[in-house]
């Protein structure tokens, strides 16, 4: 059947360098534990698996590794659209500035209504959703859940909602 995965946070802190450099010939010199699969490395692995598109709807985005994954996909030619909450693009540590400067298309949901989503659709067929904001606190300190699935009945409504919100926030 279609992929269905759930993982929970907080997760152990471990090196995630292998997700970004799977073919590296050199052992990573950082002081974190290596060879440990964590909820976070699994999340990063799913994001890095995108080959054609990534639609991301996140209310806060301050996590550096998640930003690194998005920038790596962009460099690889993956079409990226990010919808975020205006109130949070200016907070300390927000990665949205760096992402914009790289040429990635970001739209702010500037309505009075708070954008509380945290989901991503990869290649129009894989959904990542849950309680987890794309922040450092969420990943290292909160009890959170993430659900990943290719189940079309679950992915389809999120694709439609993303498009609806994207069109509604066209700056032109």
Distance CA 128, CA 133 (A): 12
- Our CB check for Zn ion shows the closer of 52 and 64 to be 64
- Our CB check for its own copies shows the closer of 24 and 145 to be 145
- Name the binder of 147 from its own copies, Zn ion, none, CB < 5-8 A by kind: its own copies
The binding site for its own copies (CB under 8 A) comprises 1, 4, 6-8, 10, 109, 112-119, 129-132, 137-138, 141-145, 147, 149, 151, 153-154, 157-158, 161, 165
Q: Looking at the annotation, which residues are catalytic?
A: 116, 118, 123
Smallest gap from residue 4 Cβ to its own copies (A): 4
Residue 32 CB neighbours (<10 A) = 12
Indicate the length of the chain as a whole number: 172
7, 62, 67 from 137: Cα distances, Å: 17, 9, 15
CB 14 within 8 A of CB 42: no
């Amino acid at each position: 059947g279609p992929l269905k995965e759930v993982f929970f946070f907080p997760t152990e802190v471990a090196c995630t360098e292998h997700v970004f450099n799977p073919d590296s010939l050199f052992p990573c010199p950082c002081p974190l534990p290596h060879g440990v699969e964590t909820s976070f490395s699994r999340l990063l692995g799913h994001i890095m698996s995108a080959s054609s598109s990534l639609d991301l709807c996140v209310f806060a985005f301050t996590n550096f590794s998640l930003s690194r994954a998005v920038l790596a996909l962009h460099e690889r030619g993956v079409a990226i659209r990010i919808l975020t909450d205006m109130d949070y693009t200016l907070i300390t540590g927000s990665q949205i500035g760096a992402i914009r400067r790289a040429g990635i298309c970001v739209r702010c949901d500037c309505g009075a209504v708070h954008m509380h989503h945290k989901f991503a659709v990869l290649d129009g067929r894989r959904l990542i959703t849950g309680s987890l904001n794309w922040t450092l606190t969420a990943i290292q300190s909160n009890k959170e859940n993430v659900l990943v699935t290719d189940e079309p009945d679950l992915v389809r409504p999120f694709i439609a909602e993303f498009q609806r919100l994207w069109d509604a926030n066209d700056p032109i």
